[in-house]
Structure 1
Amino acid sequence: MKYCGECLSKLIGVIGSGSATTYAPLIVYEGSEDIVREESLVLIRDEARNLTYLGILRYLKRLEPFLNPWQRTSYVDEPSLVDSGTFPHTTGYVYIIGTIGNDGRLSTPVIPPNPGSKVYLIERADNIRLNLGSGLLIGSHKYSGIEVPLSYSALRYHILVVGATGTGKSRLVTALIREVINKSSWNVIVFDHSGLDYVPFFKEYVVNASDIVLDPLLIADNIARVGNVSNDRYLTDYITLASLTYSLCMSIKYLEEVPEELNEIMSKCKRVATECQASQGEIRGLSSVVDLDKVIDLMAISKLTWNRKCFRDLLISIAKSMGARESTLVRLSVITDLWLGDTFFKRLSNRYLLAKDLINKVFNDRLIVVDLSNEDNIVRRYIVTYMLKALWDLIDSERREVNTLIVIDEAHNYACRTCKPSVDLIARTAREGRKWGLGLVLVTQRAIDVDPDIRNNINTVLFSKLQTPSDYENISSFMSLAGLKSEYLMTLDKREFFLAGLGNPLKIPILIKVVEVK
């Protein structure tokens, strides 16, 4: 085997005719065919111009001039001739990354390599002097072991992690989170959809979503949805009024000390708090003084307890005072007692965390992991929205960068076109977040399910084996893949991902093996 004296890499072939600045045809030497693999890194040494190119091998093919499927030869009619001798050889393409300077830095190639330039295989990191700069180390090139740092700038320009179940997406993101915390000044908020992917690795930073206070309007929407009456305007009005009234009056009831400014509201809430009853006039009186933000604050301070029987009685009394028919009252009672039950109201109780509390916590601790596993999808979306809104309120009021990374697991449940209300604030973050140091990491099995308005603002993609061919087509529609074949993705093992886009210092997609996470 021949070696390059300068770089100790193995000589595997020469550049053929028809080279360009983006790719060049490769003719592989016969003795090197057993070590040449697609996605290997190679050097092209153009002695005539004293240039060294770095590239990636793709489209390897085995050819034989006498067995051309488009040309009839004597081999077709005399198969025995095959045994007497053929002349197979291997060709492929080197996709050119750049030219390597004396300092090891890469530059954009301005002229193609000369045909006849020798090509060397990089088998180890010490085969080459390559300066890719600093960054977040989440893995190294699969075959050479060269570390490929993810650029710090990728954080504010958003990252998409895509792969079928079992490819190791959560391990990759866990490695990324650790690097961000250890090597940058950024904070990280993680939304763990199942509570199984990130919670085990960051137990001391976990916040249970069941401790986060829910908006009374969301609670009303949830009750209407579970009771299958979301399209009934009258019933949803009754439920909304009951939810607001219960949240306000019962929060005041459970306060250890009632502030003086709440005395007026407390007097209007007296019958609600003692009898779980309210008339239309009482509701009108409360509506004139209610402040939704204040109600949510009171719910947190009092750790509001929800009682099914009391809420049912309040709901029925409100509906009755507003002229509801007897059949409607029975229906509301059935929804509360049978469709919802005590379990539903127990899950609403004893919540005490507000979005501003969590934002303060992440600025102090630099990391929080929100365990969403005990909530249904509607509540999960609300909590993501709640947190993003708090960050945007901070940005809008103080006009300063927040340097915070938002990691959303199973992002197709939050960032799809119909995933209201979370999709709207995720889309705003994708469009405007880079200006204010607010970045996204969306982790999903299906890239195609992410809303195009969000997808088109993502500048770095890490992808592995995909669920369907349409996902590959979708990624290639907004990210250059430089000749990468979708069929090759099916051969990838666990923790093997392609890094593409702005965060990739090598500019064209490169195959990395993600570091082991324990």
Structure 2
Amino acid sequence: SDSTESTARVIVFEGKEKETSVEDLVLIKNMGGEEIIGVIREGLGINEALKAGEYRPGVAYTKKGGVPSSSREVFDFKIFSIGKIGDRLEQNLKVIAPRSEVYTFDRDENPMKYLSKGLEEVAYIGYYAGHKTWRIPVNVAFIPYHIGVFASTGGGKSYLARHVLIPLLRELKYDVIVFDWKGRDYSPYFEGNTIGLKDIAIDASVAADYLLDKMSFFGISSYRDSNALINAFKEYMEDSEWRNLGFEDFKADLKSKVEKVLSEDESRYAKSYLRKLERSLRRLKEADFLEVCGRKESKDIIAEAHEKHLLIINMVKAASPQKLSIFLSIAKYLKERMEGDENVNLALLIDEAPQYAPFQPKGLQEDTTEIIKDLCALGRSYGLVIILLSQGIAGDIGINAAVRRNLNTQFFGSIHPLDIEEASKWLTPYGVKIEFLLRLPPGHFYFAGKMNPAPMPLLMSFELKG
């Protein structure tokens, strides 16, 4: 009853309500001859003898402890059409006839075979929730269109990454680099494939930005404004052999060469800049300098990732600017290779994504946000997959909107209440109730977007291996 081409309400036979649940997949035999696969997204039970706020004999009987009659009781469920079954799954364009028969799938049947029909290349991940033999198909062609994983703390994001996404990428011959922000979610599980930040030589321009951040940009309000002091410092970092110097020699050499440049500057700010330089160098710590003195360059990191096929960058104990600087250096190198028309065949899995591309980026985050957008744009053509993991979707707890628009596949786990509005935009049109999403068990995700061959989010789970 109340059917359209995309939704229908189905009345269940007596007793079948005990065997039917929200998220069950069903087969609709439309009276026009089509077979349609659908998903149950909402249930409703009505007993005409029991209506809250109204006095009826059935209510009075129940009030005295009696069991009300079920003769006027009915259960129905709302079905959302996934697609018409044919040579491939197609959008259903005909109204679902009100008297059409609806069947649930037995456990030994596998409706996933209908979703994968017609795909040129298909892989499989996890399983449809509640059915461990129903592996969910993936449209492989859309993997380089980038992936977002969203779930609140404890929702299972890192488990999904370790047990589903990384194995999928490896199966499809993508090598993977994981940026492990906390050093706890990946590094302990892949010890032979892990390197630390101090091993890595970051790009000179990135090192300059990192040290500028540590020196509070010489006390200059906007470090992006062009001025003689910052320009002289960046020029020194680009052109000198500072990596071969000890800390004290570095400061002395920097001061000498920057003073020389500033002495040629006829600006009235030259003396002020010298004082700012001296104060900032006194504030700079040797530990901060050593953080940018690693020897393993970005090209070596990429080569090691291709050699080992999986490389974890453990970012534990490092400050945020250093973590961002390392990422920025590697990202710039990949961008240069793709701009040189080179296929990179690589996936970057970025945990704690709002640290790199927050709602309102500042300082180095402006650079990391911009380069993630650039990598997404180029990656679709040059075999680079970006995977962002985040506790939030949007706003203060989420990912920058311009970056988020590049994520064409999404996994939504249990969400934070602050994300109700944003999650509603993604899932409510498909009948998923947001209050249901708030209570999803750990390790359960709605799989949506381009990689999903169904035009509607599917509830998936997965087995933990090892």
Aligned partner of 1:495 in structure 2 is 443
> Counterpart amino acid of 1:196?
R
Q: Distance in 2 between matches of 1:50 and 1:509?
A: 26
Gap change, CA 1:91 and 1:81, over 3 Å in 2: farther
Q: Distance in 2 between matches of 1:383 and 1:455?
A: 22
Aligned partner of 1:61 in structure 2 is 44
Equivalent residues in 2 for 1:303-314, closer than 5 Å = 304-307=244-247, 309-314=248-253
Gap change, CA 1:192 and 1:402, over 3 Å in 2: same
> Counterpart amino acid of 2:422?
N
Secondary structure (helix, strand or coil) at the match of 1:171 reads: helix
Q: Distance in 1 between matches of 2:79 and 2:213?
A: 56
Deviation of 1:318 (Å): 5.5
Give the TM-score normalised by structure 1. Answer: 0.75
8 A contact 2:345–2:382 mirrored in 1: yes
Deviation of 1:91 (Å): 1.8
Aligned partner of 1:460 in structure 2 is 409
Please list the CA deviations of residues 71-112 of structure 1 after superposition, one character each: whole Å capped at 9, or x if unmatched. 6756677864883634433222011112334x7x53332323
8 A contact 1:479–1:501 mirrored in 2: no
Gap change, CA 1:346 and 1:425, over 3 Å in 2: closer
Matched, 1:45 2:29: yes
8 A contact 1:97–1:506 mirrored in 2: yes
Q: Distance in 2 between matches of 1:514 and 1:79?
A: 44
Equivalent residues in 2 for 1:170-181, closer than 5 Å = 170-174=158-162, 175-181=164-170
8 A contact 1:75–1:81 mirrored in 2: no
8 A contact 1:306–1:345 mirrored in 2: no
Matched, 1:201 2:184: no
Gap change, CA 1:49 and 1:233, over 3 Å in 2: closer
Secondary structure (helix, strand or coil) at the match of 1:384 reads: helix
Matched, 1:342 2:327: no
Please list the CA deviations of residues 449-494 of structure 1 after superposition, one character each: whole Å capped at 9, or x if unmatched. 322222222211101101124x243244367750111100122111
Q: Distance in 1 between matches of 2:428 and 2:353?
A: 22
> Counterpart amino acid of 1:61?
L
Query: Which of 457, 460, 464 in structure 2 is aligned with 1:512?
Result: 460
Aligned partner of 2:201 in structure 1 is 213
Q: Distance in 2 between matches of 1:128 and 1:218?
A: 51
Q: Distance in 2 between matches of 1:494 and 1:84?
A: 38
Gap change, CA 1:204 and 1:461, over 3 Å in 2: same
> Counterpart amino acid of 1:366?
H
Gap change, CA 1:327 and 1:160, over 3 Å in 2: closer
Please list the CA deviations of residues 388-428 of structure 1 after superposition, one character each: whole Å capped at 9, or x if unmatched. 2212211222x243332221111111122412211111112
8 A contact 2:229–2:273 mirrored in 1: no
Give the TM-score normalised by structure 2. Answer: 0.83
Gap change, CA 1:508 and 1:230, over 3 Å in 2: farther
> Counterpart amino acid of 1:21?
E
Matched, 1:440 2:428: no
Equivalent residues in 2 for 1:80-229, closer than 5 Å = 80=63, 83=66, 85-87=68-70, 88-101=73-86, 106-126=89-109, 130-133=113-116, 135-145=122-132, 146-174=134-162, 175-182=164-171, 184-229=172-217
Q: Can you give the 5+ residue segments of structure 2 that lack an aligned partner in the other structure?
A: 264-268
Secondary structure (helix, strand or coil) at the match of 1:348 reads: coil
Q: Distance in 2 between matches of 1:127 and 1:325?
A: 75
Secondary structure (helix, strand or coil) at the match of 2:169 reads: helix
Gap change, CA 1:347 and 1:166, over 3 Å in 2: same
Gap change, CA 1:49 and 1:250, over 3 Å in 2: closer
> Counterpart amino acid of 1:222?
Y
Q: Distance in 1 between matches of 2:44 and 2:448?
A: 24
Q: Distance in 2 between matches of 1:247 and 1:396?
A: 22
Higher alpha-carbon deviation: 494-503 or 219-228: 219-228
> Counterpart amino acid of 1:402?
V
8 A contact 2:176–2:349 mirrored in 1: yes
> Counterpart amino acid of 1:178?
P
8 A contact 1:213–1:354 mirrored in 2: yes
Secondary structure (helix, strand or coil) at the match of 1:96 reads: strand
8 A contact 2:58–2:68 mirrored in 1: no
Aligned partner of 1:378 in structure 2 is 321
Among the aligned pairs, what percent are the same residue? 25
Gap change, CA 1:234 and 1:166, over 3 Å in 2: closer
Deviation of 1:40 (Å): 1.4
Deviation of 1:504 (Å): 1.1
Deviation of 1:500 (Å): 0.7
Q: Distance in 2 between matches of 1:431 and 1:390?
A: 15
Secondary structure (helix, strand or coil) at the match of 1:423 reads: helix
Q: Distance in 2 between matches of 1:137 and 1:190?
A: 22
Aligned partner of 2:5 in structure 1 is 21
8 A contact 1:26–1:93 mirrored in 2: yes
